[in-house]
Amino acid sequence: MSGATDAAQPPAAPAPSGPGRMLLYGLASLVLGLTQGLSNNLITANLQAAQGHFGATVNEVMWLSAAYTATNVTATLLLYKVRSQFGLRRFAEIGLCLMVVVSFAHFLTSDLHSAVGLRAVAGFAGAPLSTLAFLYMLEHLPVQYKLTVGLSFGLLGSQLAVPLARVISPRLLEIGLWHHLDMVELALSLMALALVYLLPLVSPPRVKAFDRVDAVSLPLLVVGMALITIVLSLGRYYWWTEASWLGLCLAGGVGLLTIFVVIELNRARPVVNLHWLTTYDILIFAGSLIVARFVLAVQTTGTVGFFQTLGLQNDQMTTMFWLTLLATAAGYISVAFVNKPENAPAIHTVAMLMIGLGAWMESHATSLTRPHEVYLSQVLITFGGAIFLPSAMSWSLAHVLRTGPQNLLSYIAVFLASMNIGSLLGSAGLGSLVTVREKFHSNHIVESLNLTDPMVVQRLQQYGASQARVLGDAALRSGEGAVMLGQVATREAYVLAYNDMFRVVAIASVGILFLLFLHVLVARLRANAARNQAQAA
Q: What is the DSSP string of 166-198?
A: HHHHHHHHHHHTTHHHHHHHHHHHHHHHHHHHH
With CA atoms as reference, report the closest residue to 427 among 235, 248, 238.
235
Dihedral angle of Cα 307, 310, 315, 321, to the nearest 10 degrees: -10
Q: Answer whether 408's CB lies under 8 Å from 372's CB.
A: no
CA-nearest of 40, 58, 501, 508 to 304 is 501
The pLDDT score that the predictor gives to residue 4 is 37
- pLDDT tens for each residue of the chain, 537 residues long: 333 334 334 344 444 456 777 888 888 888 888 888 888 888 888 888 788 777 888 888 888 888 888 888 777 667 667 766 776 667 777 778 888 888 888 777 778 888 888 888 888 887 778 778 888 887 777 777 777 787 788 888 888 888 888 888 888 777 766 677 778 888 888 888 888 888 877 766 666 767 777 778 888 888 888 898 899 888 888 888 888 899 999 999 999 989 988 887 877 777 667 777 777 777 777 777 777 777 778 877 888 888 888 888 888 888 999 999 999 999 888 888 888 777 888 888 898 899 989 999 988 888 888 889 889 999 999 998 888 888 877 777 776 766 666 666 667 666 766 777 778 888 888 888 988 998 888 888 777 776 666 776 666 666 666 666 666 556 666 666 677 777 788 888 889 999 999 999 999 888 888 888 887 787 788 777 777 777 776
Task: Find all residues with CB under 8 Å of 503, minimum gap 6, and list them.
Answer: 359, 360, 363
* Sign of the torsion formed by the C-alpha atoms of 371, 373, 374 and 380: positive
Q: Are 112 and 60 in contact (CB under 8 A)?
A: yes
Give the pLDDT confidence score for residue 15 in this predicted structure. Answer: 47
Which amino acid type is present at position 505?
Answer: V
pLDDT for res 466? 63
Q: What is the pLDDT of residue 474?
A: 62
pLDDT score at 3? 39
Among left, alpha and beta (phi > 0; psi -120 to 50; other), residue 177 is left
